[in-house]
Chains A and B, each alone.
Chain A
Amino acid sequence: DTEVTQTPKHLVMGMTNKKSLKCEQHMGHRAMYWYKQKAKKPPELMFVYSYEKLSINESVPSRFSPECPNSSLLNLHLHALQPEDSALYLCASSQDPRYIYEQYFGPGTRLTVT
Chain B
Amino acid sequence: LAKTTQPISMDSYEGQEVNITCSHNNIATNDYITWYQQFPSQGPRFIIQGYKTKVTNEVASLFIPADRKSSTLSLPRVSLSDTAVYYCLVGEADTGFQKLVFGTGTRLLVSP
Contact = CB atoms under 8 A, between A and B. Distances in A.
Interface in B89-104: 89, 91-93, 96-97, 100-104
Interface string A50-94: 000001010000000000000000000000000000001011100
Contacts of A100: 91, 93, 97, 100
Contacts of B49: 101-102
Interface residues of B, number: 22
A12 to B, nearest CB: 16
Nearest to A100: B93
B100 A42 contact: no
Interface of A: 4, 33, 42-45, 48, 55, 57, 88, 90-92, 97-108, 110
